[in-house]
Structure 1
Amino acid sequence: MLKPRPTPTRELVNLDGLWRFGVAGRVQDEPWTGRLETPLEAPVPASYNDLFTDPAIRDHVGWAWYQRQVRVPRGWDGERVLLRFDAATHAGRVYVDDRLVAEHVGGYTPFEADITDVVSAGQEFRLTVGVSNELTNVTIPPGKITVDQFGTRKQTYLHDFYNYAGLARSVWLYSRPATHVEDVTIRTGVDGSAGTVDYAVRTSAAADVRVRALDETGAEVGSGTGAEGTLRIDGVTLWRPGAAYLYDLVVEVLDGDTVVDSYTEPFGVRTVEVRGTEFLINGEPFYFTGFGKHEDTPVRGKGHDDAYLVHDFQLMEWIGANSFRTAHYPYAEEVLEFADRHGIVVIDETAAVGINLAVQGGLTGLAPEPTFSPETFNDETRAAHAQHLRELIARDKNHPSVVMWCIANEPSSNEEGAREYFEPLIRLTRELDPTRPLTSTAVMFARADNDLIADLLDVLSINRYFGWYVATGDLATAETYLEGDLRAWAALGKPVMMAEYGADTMPGLHSVWDQPWSEEYQASYLEMNHRVFDRVEAFVGEHVWNFADFQTSNGIHRVDGNKKGVFTRDRKPKTAAHTLRSRWRGLQNRKPGTAG
């Protein structure tokens, strides 16, 4: 799905700001039929959970409602008029006045509604949006809803981050011509000193298409006609980690000599490949340094914030990180655009976190249910997962910063039924995008000798917490466990990277001993891991869990959230941040000890 952009033939109105707000049970039964009966207002974009002091709103399970008035610009007469929602967590319903115009399931990918036939240029309409935070065994991510003795609906879920909900990303009103560009796919290659740009354009109706590639100065460096083709850019400047360079592909739909629609898609020329045990960008070995992150800040929850975006990237540059994983869902597209412009490498992940009932058993002490069964995660779950993959790739396929798709986080890939569940999804992902490698992060229970899907993946991403959840406080034992585990994975003959490793740390807690939760222990824990990484030849990267502390659900094993961040939730560095800075700023995107 193309991101709305202002062009010579398209206009864009941002609908962010304060909207009327209320949760179901506190407003009228059909809130789209009139003015929302509520004294509350909520900002868009933002999660609603932490905005209000009323615990009934924070703990609400079900639909919440947003409403505002919108005026269509006078000059849009004769144009198609659309509403675009960058996300609605986890399901959305959209009403224009009294009419339902869109429904969508999936909390982190965009959707839109063509409202041309129900609005008029120059006139106002009432826009009402319902957002549901409900998670079940057939949603991605999954969860379970129960009703307690007081009749209150309760939501539980299997992921260790807070289930923030609402309109956490921007809302747009935009126009486009009747005959228009619907989609653009760009795939790039390198031929000597030239770049090759394969493009495919889908239009709303049969029409002539013209494309032009422009460099950063605006000079034309390639052109073509037709809905599909290949452009050649001689003397190409490649998009490289740490040295981004972007071109623009200007796509024009023609009626004779008249341009009826124009859309510009930025792109970078680069290649990605797995060869043996190496991960290559532009034919050169790349070593990942960075983090699993979260869209998580105080008050805003998962609400996108450009100030945090800039500051987080500044901290990643300061610490020497060259990459991050969008754990555990697709991030706002502005994040990927920023990574495109600044040369930061991204592993792009679906919201498939929690497809693992063994972890629940480990936390509760109860015997776990089978993860894959008709009663638990089933064909309907997999269909929802497939739709998430389609929408993720449709949105992010043209971003040069995205070098790999991660299809799930810590699934029960060692359990019976895992291969039957994942093999069709991996096949689908390769069909949707044959140009990028695939990975999935392996949970502690999944080992090289029992994992059922490792042979289907290109990169083996491992989540390990030896020294924290296993051999807690005993780093010598943890080091032997970790090395044995990683060497077993490396023996499979594929690139191996650590997708998660970390230790909870209370800022300000200090100790001269290896005391878990102290800042010194976090630093020593990381150093132990790094010693092991440097001894494993097939190793291609290290992503610390986590960039910053983040909010989680209620639980006695968490005190005000997950404290594995090397930065606090308000982005203050812990001792470990300086440990990582010393290491990463010397690695220069390659495995330690290897030739340049």
Structure 2
Amino acid sequence: MIKNFVDNIHNEAYKDYYLAPVLDAESYVFTGGRREVSLDGSWNFSVDMYDNCLRAKWFLEEETNSEGRKVPLDYGFDDWEEIPVPAVWNLVKPEYFYYEGPAVYSRRFLFDGKTEGHVFLRFGAAAYEARVFLNGEFLGLHLGGSTPFCVEVTSYLKEENRLIVVADNTRRQDQIPSENTDWFLYGGIYRGVSLFSVPDTYIKSMNVHLEGWREKQVSVSVSLGGASHYEGGEAVFSIPELQIKESISLGPGGTAELTFVAEALSLWSVESPKLYDVQLSYLKEGTVIDMVRDRIGFRTIETRGNEIILNGKPVFLRGVCLHEETEENGKAVTKEDIRNAFIKAKEMNCNFLRLAHYPHTEWVSQLADEEGLLLWEEIPVYWWIDFSNPKTLADAKNQLTELIKRDYNRASVIIWSVGNENPDTDERYHFMRELAETARELDKSRLISAACLVDAVNLKISDRLEEHLDIIGFNEYYGWYDPDYQKLITILEESKPEKPVVISEFGADGFASTSENMNKVRGSEEEQKEIYEMQVELFKKTSYIQGTVPWILFDYRTPKRLGAYQKGYNIKGLVTADRKREKPAFTVMKKFYEEVRKNEQRD
């Protein structure tokens, strides 16, 4: 026996203690209409680059040893600096800007204990691994830096509580995304944290969608959580504005699916984003046990040949890509930031946004529902990842499932994307196919896509994954990374897709020119404008292209871009990073989209 073994020094398998329970999509609870107590505000914080909170189990707050003697402490939760939650740590202090690794958050809160049923913590997102501790107990591990998660805390609550979260944004090969990305990897608890209560048996999920735009047939599915056995009861779904109230008996598993016709329903559209307040109640012997609410628009989305069909009519996706970032807030964007982005997109005559390259805050889809913008949402299966690793596939499936559960009821979301610019290997094909199948199994009311690469040898749109997709996403940078426009002309002429194609990325750098001579330098705004003009003329001639999505609306931070004019930014934006100045290419797209819009109105 090794008698001088010190666990927090010599045990390199220390993380094995924190692998379970896993907080995944199965633990997610629908919170619409529930009263949530916010835990946002000032939290104590410290970077922990050696991971000592986990190694030495600081969360136990043991101030004495086994002999009852006081021991020195290497931490001081309540004495640490305070930083805001939600926020990214990178922008709190200059010395944290490039920090990647574990960091510890701590805050105290009071709980009156007057509750029956279950109490949950909900996190909007924390990058990337998040380990949650309450009053010295490890509650679970969540993987994925952009999706929400819940954890039950009922049996761990006291009148005075300490909540600790170890957030770790270390890049790892087996994660989603992997080690190499073209955006800034912000760290921290950057979306809201809240506490909410539910009854012993509660509504865990409510999914609502329209099955037929002509018939106006509404579909509602509900599942219960809490009790291990369900003894009858019914679910009642209502749309008060339309005086609709429909009920159905719950099955033995606490699930039910309800369909009904709502003839008076007004369809949600880009031009008229009509929303209805809806309510779902769970009743037992006539008594309401639980109730949730949402604000929902009803529309259908499908494809017909090369066309994308919204509510029975063809629609061209006049889009632009958008990262979740501002210079002031990083990924912790505010509702005002989102509204400002929407205003700029609408000024460019957009009806569509591609949310790159990970799930954005749920505020985006909620506000898009109100504003009448269509959305493409995706998970960060980006470039190369460990496609042969079952753990990586499980991570990707869970992130996709959490995203779909969160945004299922959002009319604005019309496309789930399962990846971006992945090499066409056998491992990648099987990986992505499973993701597409998972998305279709969870949600048959939306379209499935992926942003694919072109066959650069045979010069045509070709990807084995196409057969599992509804829309082919085509990323291309002809005129920029490959200056030969003839290749793009050949690709568009030689490709004969049987499905709609969306040009999911195109563009070029655009830095501000200061003289006529500067305009001739690669990457000037003038060259960017010329590339956009060339691209647009080709798009006009290609009938199967049913959407265009330039890269990108705003310049944004990325450690990959270190050129003389980039200086840590991807400068392909149509608007500068401060969101104040439109580049000339913005006007090119604005005019193109205005032309497309007028043609649609004439048709």
TM-score by length of 1: 0.86
Helix, strand or coil for the counterpart of 2:557?
coil
Helix, strand or coil for the counterpart of 1:586?
helix
CA contact (8 A) 1:186 1:398 kept: yes
Asked if residue 111 in structure 1 is aligned to residue 149 in structure 2, the reply is yes
Asked if residue 574 in structure 1 is aligned to residue 583 in structure 2, the reply is yes
2:394 to 363, 368, 383: 383
- Distance (whole Å) between structure 1 residues aligned to residue 289 and residue 373 of structure 2: 36
Helix, strand or coil for the counterpart of 1:453?
helix
Q: 1:61 to 1:191 in 2, by over 3 A?
A: closer
Residue equivalent to 1:196: 217
Helix, strand or coil for the counterpart of 1:66?
strand
CA contact (8 A) 1:45 1:304 kept: no
Consecutive unaligned residues in structure 1, runs of 5 or more: 144-157, 357-370, 472-476
CA contact (8 A) 2:32 2:294 kept: no
Asked if residue 72 in structure 1 is aligned to residue 111 in structure 2, the reply is yes
CA contact (8 A) 1:212 1:220 kept: no
Asked if residue 318 in structure 1 is aligned to residue 347 in structure 2, the reply is yes
Residue equivalent to 1:155: none
1:492 to 484, 489, 497: 497
Residue equivalent to 1:425: 435
Per the TM alignment, residue 515 of structure 1 is displaced from its structure 2 partner at its CA by: 4.3
Residue equivalent to 1:50: 91
Helix, strand or coil for the counterpart of 1:545?
coil
Asked if residue 208 in structure 1 is aligned to residue 229 in structure 2, the reply is no
State which structure, 1 or 2, has the greater radius of gyration over its C-alpha atoms: 2
Per the TM alignment, residue 177 of structure 1 is displaced from its structure 2 partner at its CA by: 1.4
Alignment of 1:432-471 (within 5 A): 432-443=442-453, 448=460, 451-471=463-483
Helix, strand or coil for the counterpart of 2:556?
coil
Residue equivalent to 1:502: 507
AA of the residue aligned to 2:585: A
CA contact (8 A) 1:209 1:251 kept: no
Residue equivalent to 2:356: 327
Helix, strand or coil for the counterpart of 1:188?
strand
CA contact (8 A) 2:296 2:411 kept: yes
Asked if residue 15 in structure 1 is aligned to residue 15 in structure 2, the reply is no
- Distance (whole Å) between structure 1 residues aligned to residue 124 and residue 103 of structure 2: 17
AA of the residue aligned to 2:89: Y
Q: 1:554 to 1:457 in 2, by over 3 A?
A: closer
AA of the residue aligned to 1:494: K
Of residues 494-503 and 64-73 in structure 1, the stretch that sits farther from structure 2 once superposed is 64-73
1:516 to 514, 518, 522: 522
Residue equivalent to 1:153: none
Helix, strand or coil for the counterpart of 1:585?
helix
Per the TM alignment, residue 444 of structure 1 is displaced from its structure 2 partner at its CA by: 5.2
AA of the residue aligned to 2:206: V
Per the TM alignment, residue 310 of structure 1 is displaced from its structure 2 partner at its CA by: 1.4
Asked if residue 221 in structure 1 is aligned to residue 244 in structure 2, the reply is yes
Alignment of 1:82-101 (within 5 A): 82-101=120-139
- Distance (whole Å) between structure 2 residues aligned to residue 431 and residue 590 of structure 1: 36
CA contact (8 A) 1:71 1:124 kept: yes
Alignment of 1:194-273 (within 5 A): 194-204=215-225, 205=227, 206=230, 207-214=232-239, 218-226=241-249, 227-273=256-302
Q: 1:313 to 1:386 in 2, by over 3 A?
A: same
Q: 1:220 to 1:276 in 2, by over 3 A?
A: same
- Distance (whole Å) between structure 2 residues aligned to residue 516 and residue 288 of structure 1: 30
Per the TM alignment, residue 382 of structure 1 is displaced from its structure 2 partner at its CA by: 2.1
CA contact (8 A) 1:189 1:269 kept: no
Per the TM alignment, residue 585 of structure 1 is displaced from its structure 2 partner at its CA by: 2.9
Residue equivalent to 2:12: none
Residue equivalent to 1:364: none
TM-score by length of 2: 0.85
- Distance (whole Å) between structure 2 residues aligned to residue 449 and residue 125 of structure 1: 57
Helix, strand or coil for the counterpart of 1:89?
coil
Structure 1 moving runs of 4+ over 6 Å = none
What per-residue deviation string (whole Å, max 9, x for no partner) do you get for residues 419-469 of structure 1? 233222222222122222211111356663652222322211111111111
Consecutive unaligned residues in structure 2, runs of 5 or more: 1-27, 62-75, 250-255
Asked if residue 32 in structure 1 is aligned to residue 21 in structure 2, the reply is no
Residue equivalent to 2:202: 180
CA contact (8 A) 2:202 2:290 kept: yes
Residue equivalent to 1:584: 593
Asked if residue 168 in structure 1 is aligned to residue 190 in structure 2, the reply is yes
Per the TM alignment, residue 37 of structure 1 is displaced from its structure 2 partner at its CA by: 6.1
Per the TM alignment, residue 133 of structure 1 is displaced from its structure 2 partner at its CA by: 0.5
Of residues 329-338 and 509-518 in structure 1, the stretch that sits farther from structure 2 once superposed is 509-518
CA contact (8 A) 1:511 1:520 kept: no
- Distance (whole Å) between structure 2 residues aligned to residue 221 and residue 509 of structure 1: 62
Per the TM alignment, residue 265 of structure 1 is displaced from its structure 2 partner at its CA by: 2.5
Aligned residues: 543
AA of the residue aligned to 1:400: A
CA contact (8 A) 1:498 1:541 kept: yes
- Distance (whole Å) between structure 2 residues aligned to residue 320 and residue 73 of structure 1: 51
- Distance (whole Å) between structure 2 residues aligned to residue 105 and residue 308 of structure 1: 26
Of residues 458-467 and 20-29 in structure 1, the stretch that sits farther from structure 2 once superposed is 20-29
CA contact (8 A) 1:102 1:112 kept: no
Per the TM alignment, residue 179 of structure 1 is displaced from its structure 2 partner at its CA by: 1.6
Helix, strand or coil for the counterpart of 2:46?
strand
What per-residue deviation string (whole Å, max 9, x for no partner) do you get for residues 285-333 of structure 1? 1111121111111242111312201111111122211111111001111
AA of the residue aligned to 2:203: V
Per the TM alignment, residue 117 of structure 1 is displaced from its structure 2 partner at its CA by: 0.8
Q: 1:73 to 1:566 in 2, by over 3 A?
A: farther
AA of the residue aligned to 1:407: V
Per the TM alignment, residue 39 of structure 1 is displaced from its structure 2 partner at its CA by: 3.5
Alignment of 1:528-539 (within 5 A): 528-539=534-545
- Distance (whole Å) between structure 2 residues aligned to residue 16 and residue 297 of structure 1: 20
- Distance (whole Å) between structure 2 residues aligned to residue 2 and residue 289 of structure 1: 34
**Among the aligned pairs, what percent are the same residue?**
28
CA contact (8 A) 1:330 1:348 kept: yes
AA of the residue aligned to 2:224: T
